[in-house]
A and B are shown apart, each in its own frame.
Chain A
Amino acid sequence: MEHQTPILEVDGLNTTFYRSGQALPALRDVSFSVARGEVLGLVGESGSGKSVTLRSIIGLARRYGEVTGQVRWQGRDLVPMPDRDLRQIQGREIAMIFQEPMTSLNPLLTVGLQLEETLRAHTDLSKAARRDRAIEMLDLVGIPSAAQRLKDYPHQFSGGMRQRVMIAIALAANPKLLLADEPTTALDVTIQAQILDLILRLAQDMDMGVLLVTHDLGVVAQTCDHVAVMYAGRIVEQGPVRDVLRVPRHPYTVGLMRSVPENLPPRTPLYSVPGVPPSLDVLPKGCAFAPRCAACIAPCEQDRPPLSLITDGRQVACFNPISKAQGNAA
């Protein structure tokens, strides 16, 4: 699939939180772009900064810490933008859905009201038109007898239905980009595929870009055009999904792939990357992955490998990347 010029360009994004006077570098030098209609996957273990990336783009992270760098949205930089202007973009042009459908909807308000308030903030529709649009949206995400359910409260929906409601609310104002923060992690396995299909179908119908955070490489393989692998707040490898998954170059990507059961013959012991991700307040001097890395060489512990272009469209941050042959062997 060929994509036109990017709608979102993230360039050198840094996010720092402070805990009892200590700076915690949650994101460092994160750069990527998303084109219209493109699905970009962000993968990594929890704590790697996937979620913080989304929250930094849409302006939620800056309430809790310091965000620097650029988030260019159709030519405008969102990082220094005042709240008032940002609100014209949040929900209207860039929407976000969260991981936990149980806690992400306000338990005290009807879903109708929570849908309607988005429309009210971003459209000029009349009250009646807003109601019609709300019913249309619930219908679109596959909620039966939508008109009757407007006055229901979140706790009256099942987990999967609640996630559909959240998608309906997020997409109500026709955004051009959807930030999806592990939208299926909290759901039953059988429902996960349905929700994912729904998001992709709507994205295609609405010609909307999707930035999908997940820790599931299987999901990435099925749904994304491009993928960026994150580790300890940095992107360590990115490129087109087919290339990255077929020939992973960063040892961490290789490790992640070996821990997915589908890639293995039956009865092979399940692999997991040895060790745990470093805590953000004690990051190693060189490559953050070095202590867990089998391919670690001397420079890895001294200097941080930059994210550099290796082949067409592929970027890897590694001094000793896995070669093609090794990658296949793994």
Chain B
Amino acid sequence: MSDATFTTARPSLFRIAMRKPGFLAGLLIIGFSILLAIFPGAFAPYDPNAIDYLAVRQPPSWAHPFGTDLLGRDSLSRVIWAYQVNMQMAVFGTVFALVTGVIIGALVGYYRGIADMIFGRIVDAVITFPFLVLVIAVVAVLGPGLINMYIAISVVYWVYYARLMRAEVIAQMGNDYAAAGIVMGYSDRRIIFRHLLPNAITPVIVYWMTDMALVILLGSSLGYLGLGAQPPQAEWGVLIAEGRNFISTAWWLSLMPGIAIVLTGLGFSLLGDGLADLLRPRG
């Protein structure tokens, strides 16, 4: 309604966190996940690789809250140690694509011309492949494993960041300050990196949060399919795959790592939604 638009003062971060329980929950989940990833030893009750043939596939108990696996290893400890690998995915699976995408997107958005046309064709071609198909095709050539998985994801995913960044830069170029910068004779570099980038990056950062959730899902899927992390490394997808054949007798083996995935994914997407709310221009 035209007469019903109101402006409100921008409240403090703390007040927003209190008013938005989703954002607060996301913050708590991810904060705790980071703690688990950095200090798994402090939280895990057992050595994740300690084999105990006398306690194979034990159901959950006080001694082993998540039960034990087929080699008698403590499931809870393995799920906790897996935080290291899976949280690392959220970073390494996204950060190279983010940086490359932001730079290329800003450049083609600013200069346009032939480079932009070629970029447009590349985007068209890359989105023509189902994402997972292209990633596993690259993994297939490089060979399975975590590092190769990061390379594969980055090689494909920078395009998505670049596309978003390009659109934002072009939108920002329409603003007066960009024109003012050009009129005042600032160097291209200064305009792009000092003026356009800081303003255009907000949606990219929000997207990055959601993307971290996606990469954890993707990474664990590849682990499950045998193309990501390799056993005996503790990784949620690998753990679920290990328990898959015993699912009717030892359901906890697959269930618990799954809960960890859902919880972490939820944490990142709540954080992303909350951040989007927070950074959305008000008025």
- Listed in ascending order, the chain A residues whose CB lies under 8 Å from chain B are 17, 19-20, 22, 24, 26, 46-52, 55, 61, 64, 99, 279-281
Residue of B nearest to A47 (CB): B3
Contact B6 A48 (CB under 8 A): no
Q: Which residues of A contact B8 (CB under 8 A)?
A: 19-20, 22, 279, 281
Q: Considering the chains assembled together, what is the distance between the CA atoms of A51 and B2 in angstroms?
A: 7
Interface size on B, residues (CB 8 A): 9
Contact A19 B6 (CB under 8 A): yes
Asked if B7 is at the interface of the complex by the 8 Å CB criterion, the answer is: yes
Contact B6 A52 (CB under 8 A): no
Contact among B3, B5, B6, B7 with A50 in the assembled complex (CB-CB below 8 Å)? B3
Can you give 5 A-B contacts (C-beta < 8 A)?
A17-B4, A20-B8, A20-B19, A47-B3, A52-B3
Contact among B1, B2, B3, B6 with A279 in the assembled complex (CB-CB below 8 Å)? B6
Q: Which residues of A contact B6 (CB under 8 A)?
A: 17, 19, 24, 279-281
Question: Which secondary structure dominates chain B's binding surface?
Answer: loop
Q: Which residues of B contact A22 (CB under 8 A)?
A: 8
Q: Considering the chains assembled together, what is the distance between the CA atoms of A17 and B4 in angstroms?
A: 8
Contact among B3, B7, B19 with A51 in the assembled complex (CB-CB below 8 Å)? B3
Q: How far is the CB of B235 from chain A (nearest CB, A)?
A: 41
Q: Considering the chains assembled together, what is the distance between the CA atoms of A49 and B7 in angstroms?
A: 15
Q: Considering the chains assembled together, what is the distance between the CA atoms of A51 and B6 in angstroms?
A: 14
Q: How far is the CB of A100 from chain B (nearest CB, A)?
A: 9
Residue of B nearest to A17 (CB): B4
Beta-carbon contacts under 8 Å, B1-51 to A: 1-8, 19
Q: Which residues of A contact B5 (CB under 8 A)?
A: 47
Q: Considering the chains assembled together, what is the distance between the CA atoms of A24 and B7 in angstroms?
A: 11
Q: Which residues of B contact A99 (CB under 8 A)?
A: 2
Residue of A nearest to B11 (CB): A20
Q: Considering the chains assembled together, what is the distance between the CA atoms of A281 and B282 in angstroms?
A: 15
Question: Which secondary structure dominates chain A's binding surface?
Answer: mixed
| 4 tightest Cβ-Cβ pairs between the two chains A and B | A51-B3, A52-B3, A51-B2, A279-B7
Q: Considering the chains assembled together, what is the distance between the CA atoms of A55 and B1 in angstroms?
A: 9
Q: A20-B8, A281-B8 are in contact. Are A64 and B2 (CB under 8 A)?
A: no
Q: Which residues of A contact B4 (CB under 8 A)?
A: 17, 24, 26, 51-52, 64
Q: Considering the chains assembled together, what is the distance between the CA atoms of A220 and B2 in angstroms?
A: 20
Q: Which residues of A contact B1 (CB under 8 A)?
A: 51-52, 55, 61, 64
Residue of A nearest to B20 (CB): A20
Contact A46 B2 (CB under 8 A): yes
Q: A19-B8, A20-B8 are in contact. Are A48 and B19 (CB under 8 A)?
A: no
Q: Considering the chains assembled together, what is the distance between the CA atoms of A304 and B48 in angstroms?
A: 73
Q: Which residues of B contact A61 (CB under 8 A)?
A: 1
Contact A26 B3 (CB under 8 A): yes
Q: How far is the CB of A235 from chain B (nearest CB, A)?
A: 15
Q: How far is the CB of A229 from chain B (nearest CB, A)?
A: 15
Residue of B nearest to A26 (CB): B4
Q: How far is the CB of A53 from chain B (nearest CB, A)?
A: 9
6 new A-B pairs (CB below 8 Å) besides A20-B8, A46-B2, A61-B1?
A17-B6, A19-B6, A46-B3, A48-B3, A51-B2, A64-B1
Q: Considering the chains assembled together, what is the distance between the CA atoms of A279 and B1 in angstroms?
A: 16
Q: Which residues of B contact A64 (CB under 8 A)?
A: 1, 4
Q: Considering the chains assembled together, what is the distance between the CA atoms of A17 and B6 in angstroms?
A: 10
Q: Which residues of B contact A19 (CB under 8 A)?
A: 6, 8
Q: Which residues of B contact A281 (CB under 8 A)?
A: 6, 8
Q: Which residues of B contact A55 (CB under 8 A)?
A: 1
Q: How far is the CB of B95 from chain A (nearest CB, A)?
A: 34
Q: Considering the chains assembled together, what is the distance between the CA atoms of A280 and B8 in angstroms?
A: 10
Q: Which residues of B contact A52 (CB under 8 A)?
A: 1, 3-4
Residue of B nearest to A53 (CB): B3
Q: How far is the CB of A40 from chain B (nearest CB, A)?
A: 17
Residue of A nearest to B3 (CB): A51
Q: How far is the CB of A60 from chain B (nearest CB, A)?
A: 8
Q: Which residues of B contact A51 (CB under 8 A)?
A: 1-4
Residue of B nearest to A22 (CB): B8
Q: Considering the chains assembled together, what is the distance between the CA atoms of A55 and B4 in angstroms?
A: 11
Residue of B nearest to A54 (CB): B3
Q: Which residues of A contact B3 (CB under 8 A)?
A: 26, 46-52
Q: How far is the CB of A120 from chain B (nearest CB, A)?
A: 28
